[in-house]
Amino acid sequence: MRTLGARLRALRVDVGLTGAVLAQRAGVGQPTVSKVENGRMVPSRDVLDRLSGALGLDASVIAELRVALAEVESAPSAGADDTLSGSSVSADAVVDLAVRGAQLVRSFQCVVLPAMLQSAEYARHVFASTPGADAAEVGKAVAARVERQSVLYEPGRESVFVVTEGVLRTWPGSPALMLAQLDRLLAVESLTTVRFGVLPWDRPVPVMPRHGFTLCDQETVVVETFRDERAEKDPDVFASYEEAFAQFESAAVFGDGARELLMRIMRDLRVLAEDVTP
């Protein structure tokens, strides 16, 4: 990742463009250019081609960059910057690579909130609950997770989240923590790049949910477990998860329905917060 980023930075400097100008010409966010050049983000093939076009690169250089990208995508994820080495906690090294490079992300969760929507304190409880978690490593993981969420605001991306009502009513720490988390969901739900849906408890689920998963573009499904995550690119496996997501999505409420449900749960949490206040 660092080698690919450094090569792109050198090519940009050679043609005399700033990162901001390159981002504008390529039609991507400036944070994307910065993260790619610093080896902190794996660009999708589309983003790489946009950058190459904006730089006016010839075919041989573009082919070189595509080969480098393929090597990054096929490399083990243990070296990613938000992996908690020396700990059994996983900080999304696999999903980080997949999500950062995806133009379309679809995530279903039935236990915890999607990583892309978690507040810092919520994420801290998620990481701290993993066996063998080290406090210092948890702090690094939380910072990396929050930083990655900037992709939600980048133009050209689309994110669709579907959660069960049980996810919203399962709160770590305190009711006050979850109130702040739900307030963040209301803010994110208003973004034009995000669709947020909830499966209400008073509706039957179309498929019995077994675990959470995230679909990245049309090729990678990331399955989450208690200890870590794993990426699967088998077309048949992806198709089965995509079909399940479509069923969850069709049964969920979005827009006003989702906001009304969030507000109702927040009222319940405020009552709980008053009950636990000394």
Residues 6+ apart with CB under 8 A from 94: 77, 80, 222, 229, 230, 231
Instruction: Provide the residue type at 232 as one letter.
Output: E
Share of the chain above pLDDT 90, in %: 42
Per the CB < 8 A criterion, the answer to whether 47 and 28 are in contact is: yes
Helices (H), the chain: 2-14, 19-26, 30-37, 45-55, 59-74, 93-100, 120-128, 135-148, 165-168, 175-189, 235-251, 256-276
Residue with tokens 């605001």: 153
Does 222 lie in the same domain as 109?
yes
Kindly give the pairing relationship between strand 104-109 and strand 213-216.
Answer: antiparallel
- For the cut 60, the answer to whether the pLDDT of residue 122 exceeds it is yes
If one counts every other C-beta atom within 10 angstroms of the C-beta of residue 99, the result is 25
Q: What is the pLDDT of residues 239-250, one digit of tens each?
A: 999 999 999 999
pLDDT at position 91: 37
Does 129 lie in the same domain as 54?
no
Q: Which strand (E) or helix (H) includes residue 215?
A: strand 213-216
- For the cut 70, the answer to whether the pLDDT of residue 275 exceeds it is yes
How far the first Cα of the chain sits from its last, in Å, is 51
Does 177 lie in the same domain as 270?
yes
Does 186 lie in the same domain as 70?
no
pLDDT at position 227: 63
**Integer CA distances (angstroms), 224 to 6, 16, 43, 60, 87, in order:** 32, 43, 23, 39, 17
- For the cut 70, the answer to whether the pLDDT of residue 263 exceeds it is yes
**Is 198 exposed, middle or buried (CB count within 10 Å of its CB: 0-12, 13-18, 19+)?**
buried
Q: Report the predicted TM-score, pTM, of the whole model to 2 decimal places.
A: 0.69
Does 48 lie in the same domain as 130?
no
153 belongs to a structural domain: yes
Residue ending a domain, among 18, 40, 74, is 74
Q: What residues make up the domain containing 67? A: 2-74
pLDDT at position 79: 39
* Mean pLDDT of the region 58-83: 70
- For the cut 90, the answer to whether the pLDDT of residue 1 exceeds it is no
Does 197 lie in the same domain as 98?
yes
- For the cut 70, the answer to whether the pLDDT of residue 210 exceeds it is yes
pLDDT at position 112: 92
* Mean pLDDT of the region 33-47: 83
> Which one has a higher pLDDT value, 231 or 168?
168
Return the half-sphere exposure (C-beta side, CA atoms, 13 A cut-off) of residue 88: 9
Overall domain count for the chain: 2
Tell me phi and psi for residue 58, to 5 degrees: -80, 170
Residue ending a domain, among 43, 74, 105, is 74
